[in-house]
Amino acid sequence: MLVLRHTRRMPAPRPLPPHLSRSAFRTDEWDFHELSASRLRSSLVDAPFHGVRSVGLDAGDILDLARMYAPRLRDGQLFSHITAARLHGIPLPQRLRTSTMVHVASVRGTRVRAKGVVGHLMPDAVASFVEELRVVSPAQTWCQLAVHVSREYLVAGGDYLLTGLRLPGGYRAAPLCTRAELEGAAERHGSKRGAVALAWAGPLLRAGVDSPRESMLRLAIIAHGLPEPVVGHPVPVAEGLTLHPDLSYPEHRIAIEYEGDEHRVDRTRWRRDLRRISLLEEAGWRVIRVTNDDIADSTALVRILRAALRA
């Protein structure tokens, strides 16, 4: 005999007040969140840090992660180190790009001690803002990276800060740093950890670099004793256009173009790349196309470049 049993459905959680959407707040801010103790434990509310609740924020997004911790920031505290680098958009290795640890610097007092947080004491911290968030300045953040990333990534980070993001229409946003600001920050950093790496990276920084892989490519070439290629040299081509190869040896009319996977899978970009190469070759330039494999093992690339320079 078949017995039908009625399962009782749990009622859906009562909607939260609209003003809490995509927000983070302290549990003791009763006047703001207007939630009872039981509603603070609702499935619609996250508890990212002790004493903090958030609604609709994603810890996988660095801006949201910082906003989750922001209600805990006191006067004289700001985001620093890896967290600041991610907020500024500085290129980092994969292991650091996906970290959920939050780095917080205190100008005075003691280091922050909390689960999921790395505290630092920085009496000389220089503050800036990324949207509404207090963050260590880009130049000082670059110096802090010297103990967290390779020298090559340190150069890539400095290149990024000097360059400014490429905007539609061929324009660029203003750089986050000047060379003088980076040099001044490195000088103030003094002999602290990372000073040797900063001294090595500083003279190798270049503006106009569009990706960290281009920085790595340039460093791989000069590490083999070849002349340093020029970044973004203007090349007049047909149709009244001016192209800027990633790297080049203008005197030898050799252009070096880095092609990441996005160049291959994006059909529009692939076609644009082919047109770009045709225009450069039509103007009498030899184009050497480079992939990530050539950076990982640059032996063949260096052999080709040496032969091209001799020719």
Q: How confident is the model at residue 264 (pLDDT cuts 50, 70, 90)?
A: low
Q: Is the confidence at residue 265, as pLDDT, over 90?
A: no
From 204, 233, 267, give the residue that closes a domain.
204
Spatial distance between the Cα atoms of 48 and 65, rounded to a whole number of angstroms: 9
Residues 145, 230: one domain?
Answer: no
pTM, whole model, 2 decimals? 0.89
Residues 151, 226: one domain?
Answer: no
> What amino acid occupies position 151?
R
- How is 255-267 classified by DSSP, letter by letter? EEEE--HHHHH-H
Spatial distance between the Cα atoms of 192 and 25, rounded to a whole number of angstroms: 36
The gap between the terminal CA atoms of the chain, to the nearest Å, is: 91
Task: Please answer whether residues 207 and 163 qualify as being in contact, where contact means their C-beta atoms are separated by less than 8 angstroms.
Answer: yes
Look up the domain containing 267 and give its range.
212-310
> What amino acid occupies position 140?
Q
133 — phi, psi (to 5°)? -95, 135
Q: pLDDT tens, 138-154?
A: 999 999 999 999 999 99
Contacts (Cβ under 8 Å, ≥6 apart) of 298: 220, 221, 223, 224
- How is 85-118 classified by DSSP, letter by letter? HHHHT----HHHHT---EEEEESSS-----TTEE
Query: Is 103 contained in some domain?
Result: yes
From 142, 171, 204, give the residue that closes a domain.
204
Query: Is 3 contained in some domain?
Result: no
Q: How confident is the model at residue 13 (pLDDT cuts 50, 70, 90)?
A: confident
Query: Is 287 contained in some domain?
Result: yes
Task: Please answer whether residues 279 and 243 qualify as being in contact, where contact means their C-beta atoms are separated by less than 8 angstroms.
Answer: yes
Residue 308 burial class via C-beta count within 10 angstroms: exposed 0-12, middle 13-18, buried 19 and up: middle
Q: Is the confidence at residue 91, as pLDDT, over 80?
A: yes
Task: Please answer whether residues 157 and 219 qualify as being in contact, where contact means their C-beta atoms are separated by less than 8 angstroms.
Answer: no
From 174, 204, 234, give the residue that closes a domain.
204
Q: Is the confidence at residue 266, as pLDDT, over 70?
A: no
